[in-house]
């Protein structure tokens, strides 16, 4: 009978030896460590890129004279009557997020520098859409006031 001693397998959920890893790999700067973005954040950035792409298409049509844009609603949507500035912001958001998606596995894994590019593109996109958001909030507030008036009038009947 041949008996041999076999070492017990290491538990699968053993905590990593952080000190040994630090001594083996050295210290890395924070911007070189890749980390996973949550699904919600990734989805938000993709949605922002899509909305800015649609908005940039409309702004390009306005710049070319194909789409009409006049009145106070257009002035608010184009950031005070500056459609070219809004177009540049929207296109920079779409372009930066598209380029960043190529090196971040679809905006899922980022290091510090890539995250800075993504956040900057997000800020450009939010600023570009600020006029449209202001219009939507204004319309929503008007609808709330109208609904309140209708409720008050219906209550008095």
Q: Where are the alpha helices (DSSP H) in the chain?
A: 18-25, 39-64, 71-77, 83-103, 112-128, 130-156
For the chain, percent of residues with pLDDT exceeding 70 = 89
Does residue 92 carry a pLDDT above 80?
yes
**Which pLDDT belongs to residue 84?**
94
Domain residue ranges of the chain, discontinuous segments joined by +: 36-150
Contact present, 79 and 86 (Cβ < 8 Å): yes
**Which pLDDT belongs to residue 71?**
92
Does residue 12 carry a pLDDT above 70?
no
Region 96-112: what's the mean pLDDT? 91
For the chain, percent of residues with pLDDT exceeding 90 = 65
Does residue 3 carry a pLDDT above 90?
no
pLDDT band per the 50, 70, 90 thresholds, residue 17: confident
């Amino acid at each position: 009978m041949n008996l041999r001693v076999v070492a017990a397998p290491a538990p699968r959920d053993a905590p990593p030896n952080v000190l040994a890893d630090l001594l083996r790999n050295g210290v890395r700067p924070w911007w070189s460590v890749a980390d996973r973005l949550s699904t919600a954040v990734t989805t938000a950035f993709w949605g922002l890129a899509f909305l800015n792409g649609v908005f940039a298409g409309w702004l390009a049509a306005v710049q070319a004279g194909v789409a009409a844009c006049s009145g106070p609603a257009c002035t608010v949507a184009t950031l005070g009557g500056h459609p070219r500035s809004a177009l540049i912001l929207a296109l920079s958001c779409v372009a930066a997020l598209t380029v960043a998606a190529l090196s971040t596995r679809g905006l899922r894994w980022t290091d510090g520098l890539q995250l800075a590019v993504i956040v900057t593109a997000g800020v450009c996109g939010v600023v570009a859409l600020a006029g449209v958001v202001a219009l939507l909030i204004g319309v929503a507030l008007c609808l709330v006031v109208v609904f309140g008036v209708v409720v008050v009038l219906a209550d008095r009947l």
